[in-house]
Amino acid sequence: MLTRAAAHLAWLGMLASPGAGNERLPYAIVDTAQDRCYDARTEIPYPDKGAPYYGQDAQYQGSRPAYRNNGDGTVTDLVTGLTWQRDPGEKKTFRQAVAGAAQCRLGGHDDWRLPTIKELYSLIHFTGTDPDPRRTDPGRLRPFLDAGAFVFRYGDPAKGERLIDAQYATCTKYVATTMGGNDTMFGVNFADGRIKGYPAGPHPARGEKTYCVLYVRGNPDYGRNDFRDNGDGTVTDRATGLMWQQADSGKGMNWQEALAYAGGLALAGHCDWRLPDAKELQSIVDYTRSPDATQSAAIAPVFQATRILNEGGKPDYPCYWTSTTHASARGGESAVYIAFGRALGWMEDPRTRQIALLDVHGAGAQRSDPKDGDPSQFPRGRGPQGDVVRIANFARCVRGGGVTLRAQGPPVEARQPPGAQPVSPWMQREDRDGDGKVSREEFGGPPEHFDHLDRNGDGFLTEDEAPKGPPPRPGLPR
């Protein structure tokens, strides 16, 4: 077996070898792999400079994801220098996940560890499809993980799980609590493409939640920032090669406005600023800080973060847009943000039935918002935990990092076959997997309404069976 010292030397050798990617960067950011552009709803051709929606994730190419299957149950990331367990196997409780690292001998190595949230997030791919939480069949969904390099499984409804129950554990604990006092661990859900705070201990009624686990080894410097205040309103992270805007935008804006703000920024003699992609922005989260623990945003003190009053009237810090679309079967109507303040949600107390505004996922969570619209249409948020919807999120711009511009992407995927009849707004909304029909699991109304509409009794609703009239207002639970 390799000792820890030998493993460290092997990692250094790998970074010095040809084709290893960013060999001078101990914290190399892997590209999100997103290669399609979107407006506020659907996929579009790559916008030209100065046009609406220019400067989004797909138009900038960073270090391409590159993995090597070592043939011994491990996978090496050739960009980061991290080596991973390929198959998570059976799910574990958080305590089992922590304890299991020391016993792991995969590939003949004894230096496995439970990854940090920054290490685990390095694996996320934003080519995935965000599923409807009520869905029970993965169909044509794509996970937010390279399923060719890693073994991935959606949650198993036969075991009482939801399809989206593919949460992966990390060793990163939240320095505050969520859900009104729960001990919390940050994890990545590779089924729905999010970072959330998850229970790190037993629930009094539901017992201990179990998680997928991928142990990691190598590159002990991954995720460690090395910030330098340049004295000109910018901060350089010498670990990643990225230069950051020291302050933020100072105000909220929708996604299109945030892209334009970044594209028009002139700061410290530079005019090549961009809105960061999801991985770039997550790289500057400081998971040792939070509004409740340090009375600050979850970011290093070298940065400035605008203080806001949140939906409950408490001092807080903003969520920040990324240039990354959070695509679903319905299209590209949402974009990724990182919460540098509390990740709030409206939750119902099961005992009192009262709705309360809580920090449900923790400062440092990654979720998504509609790219535009009126947040008042979401008075109790959206999603299983009632995620607060702001839409007017802030921006913090970035430059450098060795990215290159891509002139064009793959052909735009047709929404409908040539000559097809127009699809009603109701069908667009309810047909989560885009197969031209609505299953019972996809249907958002009462079960008896489904039975009434399903005139031929085949268990699906087609366009000719769709209800007539205007669709319900946005903001209803998805």
Q: Residue 417: pLDDT above 70? A: no
Residues whose CB falls within 8 Å of the CB of residue 478, separated by 6 or more in sequence, listed in order: 132, 133, 382, 383, 444
Q: What is the pLDDT of residue 424?
A: 66
Distance linking the first and last C-alpha atoms of the chain: 49
Tokens 């810090």 sit at which residue?
Answer: 317
* Tokens found for residue 183: 């001990």
The listed range with the strongest mean pLDDT (4-8, 347-351, 411-415, 433-437) is 347-351
pLDDT the model gives residue 140: 85
pLDDT at 180 over 80: yes
User: Does pLDDT of 190 surpass 90?
Assistant: yes
The answer to whether residue 469 scores a pLDDT higher than 70 is no
- List the single range of 117-131, 200-214, 270-284, 421-435 with lowest mean pLDDT: 421-435
- pLDDT for residue 168 is more than 50: yes
- Whether the per-residue pLDDT at 177 is higher than 90: the answer is yes
pLDDT band at 139 (very low <50, low <70, confident <90, very high): confident
Question: Residues 84, 74: contact at Cβ < 8 Å?
Answer: yes
Alpha helices in 85-128 (DSSP H): 94-103, 117-121
| DSSP codes, 329-371 | TTBS-EEEEEESS--EEEEE-TTT--EEEEE-S-TT-EEEEES
The two tokens of residue 375 are 């947040």
Tell which wins on pLDDT, 7 or 432.
432
CB contact at 8 A, 9 and 3: no
CB atoms within 10 A of CB 240: 26
The answer to whether residues 239 and 226 touch, using CB atoms and an 8 Å cutoff, is yes
Whether 191 shows a pLDDT value over 50: the answer reads yes
Domain residues of the chain, as ranges? 232-400, 425-465
Q: What are the angstrom distances between the C-alpha of 448 and each of 20, 445, 453, 468, 478? A: 58, 8, 9, 17, 18
pLDDT cut 70: percent of the chain above it: 87
pTM for the predicted model, two decimal places: 0.85
Cα(455)–Cα(463) distance, integer angstroms: 12
Separation of alpha carbons 248 and 63, rounded Å: 26
The predicted-structure confidence for 329-339, as pLDDT tens digits, reads as follows 889 999 999 99
Q: 149-185: string of b/e by CB count within 10 Å (b at 16+)?
A: bbebbbbeeeeeebbbbbbbbbbbbbbbbbbeebebb
pLDDT band at 194 (very low <50, low <70, confident <90, very high): very high
Q: What is the DSSP letter of 312?
A: T
- Return the pLDDT at 134: 81
